[in-house]
Amino acid sequence: MARDGLFFRRAGTLNSHNVPAFALVVQWLWTAILCLTGTYGQLLNYVIFAALLFYAFTTAGLFILRGKRPDADRPYRALGYPVLPALYIVLCCAVMLLLLLSPTTRTESISGLVLVLIGIPVFFLWRRVEAPTAAGA
């Protein structure tokens, strides 16, 4: 993302050992902040809802790409296609619904969803701000 101009440029640079050290420090800081905000169970509930959402979207992408590009080369096969991927999407959605309906996980699940949704306008804002500098590079 940094190399595409969608994150801090410095996060995309590698040090002398070919390691993105700055990006790792930023990730470490964010992880430390999250660890200080609650229990392990709360963090798990916070993250799992967003993860399941993206797992379901990724699997749905399989159906979309197969519909748009039916003749594309398929270097790997989706086991049980279309039944198993569809079942996986249904189960992801069921678990997300259960997380939202349960009073013990609702708050963290909604917080995780809100954090993901905040990323949408941030992405477009960052792209708009970085576009002139990326074009001049």
Q: Do residue 24 and residue 46 come from a single domain?
A: no
Give the type of residue at 23: A
Report pLDDT for 128.
83
Q: Do residue 87 and residue 101 come from a single domain?
A: yes
Q: Do residue 49 and residue 23 come from a single domain?
A: no
Of 18, 44, 17, nearest in space to 99 by CA: 44
The model's confidence at residue 137, banded by pLDDT at 50, 70 and 90, is low
Q: What is the 3-state secondary structure (H, E, C) of the chain?
A: CCCCCCCCHHHHCCCCCCCCHHHHHHHHHHHHHHHCCCCHHHHHHHHHHHHHHHHHHHHHHHHHHHHHCCCCCCCCCCCCCCHHHHHHHHHHHHHHHHHHHCCCCHHHHHHHHHHHHHHHHHHHHHHHHHHHHHHHC
Q: Do residue 54 and residue 98 come from a single domain?
A: yes
* Encoded tokens for 39: 């229990």
Q: Do residue 15 and residue 48 come from a single domain?
A: no
Domain region containing 20: 1-37
Angstrom distance (rounded) from CA 107 to CA 100? 8
Q: What is the pTM of this model?
A: 0.76
- Per-residue pLDDT at 133 exceeds 60: no
Report pLDDT for 132.
61
